[in-house]
Amino acid sequence: MTEINELNTKELTTWCPGCGNHLILAALKKAVSKMNLNPSEVAVVSGIGCSSGLPHWIETYGFHSIHGRAVPVATGVKLANHNLNVFVVSGDGDGYGIGLNHLIHAMRRNLDITFLGHDNQIYGLTLGQTSPTSEQGAKTVSTPNGSIELPINPIALGLASGATFIARAFAGNTEQLADLIVKGTQHEGFALIDILQPCVTLNKVNTFEFFQKRVYDLQSEKHDTSNFSAAFLKSFEWNPRIPTGIFYQTKRDTYTEDLPQLKEKSLVKQQQELKSVDINSLLEKYK
Ligand code: SF4
């Protein structure tokens, strides 16, 4: 088993004390260790936001990219080397807001990556604006009279977009979260894991206590994960009970399996012949 210490760095994170991000980082390390993955077999890609600092604090390959663009970068990583286990770490503002279009397309392509949506229902890094998953009526610095918009439902969106593994976890239950990360990673295809991650500094409504009182495990209630309609109905359950666990899982070809150029081997394993090109004749052509 990979030692969790091998995945640690000596640097301290910049997250607030008590932030749910600490627990997600711990669960990810636990999951990588449980799967006995060598750190060189893992790539963690993030966008921008509080959660997106995570690749700095786990000793695997990492890429801290730009706002909303973690999925395109992860797509490039996976296409270049589909033997890597690729994780996307993205907050609700980054992944379900500015980067939402990329997320939808990666899900419908069934790219074999694991998306960890750090969903704290607020913009943390920019100090507390309403985010795409803030509840209707949420009072924040950008909506002091309460948000008038309906929130995005990541689970229903994942189902409608063709993701083949769709789950929700609560950061306060790291055992369940680590287990879902293992299952999502071992699943061949796009794994969307929406993680309820309390922002202890800026979201005073959706706190650890709020979720502790409401969350329950779908698997303990014998939910049928092959039943699309049942998963869709469950995705709209929120108050007073919030389902966690696997909503839906199915099998279909992944993007790299169907791409003839990559089907046999990763790009990095293919022999590339560098031919010298006469650029002048090309320039002449477009004069
Ligand atoms: Fe975590 Fe919120 Fe602090 Fe950001 S602002 S580090 S999300 S507690």
> For every one of its 287 residues, what pLDDT tens digit does the chain have, with 9 covering 90 and above?
667 666 766 568 999 999 999 999 999 999 999 999 999 999 999 999 999 999 999 999 999 999 999 999 999 999 999 899 999 999 999 999 999 999 999 999 999 999 999 999 999 999 999 999 999 999 999 999 999 999 999 999 999 999 999 999 999 999 999 999 999 999 999 999 999 999 999 999 999 999 999 999 999 999 999 999 999 999 999 999 999 999 999 999 999 999 988 888 888 888 766 677 788 887 888 88
CB of 43 within 8 A of CB of 85?
Answer: yes
| CATH match for 4-284 among 3.40.50.970, 3.40.50.150, 3.20.20.140, 3.30.70.890 | 3.40.50.970
Hey, whose CA ends up nearest to atom 1 of ligand 1? 19
Q: Using CA atoms, how far apart are residues 124 and 34, in angstroms rounded to an integer?
A: 30
Hey, whose CA ends up nearest to atom 5 of ligand 1? 124
| Sign of the alpha-carbon dihedral angle for 206, 27, 92, 14 | positive
Q: Using CA atoms, how far apart are residues 39 and 21, in angstroms rounded to an integer?
A: 20
Residue to mutate (ligand 1; options 13, 50, 204; most atoms within 8 A of CB) = 50
Token pair, residue 180, equals: 């879902």
For 69, other C-beta atoms within 10 Å of its C-beta total: 18
CB of 128 within 8 A of CB of 212?
Answer: no
CA of 16 to the centre of ligand 1 (A): 5
Q: Using CA atoms, how far apart are residues 96 and 255, in angstroms rounded to an integer?
A: 22
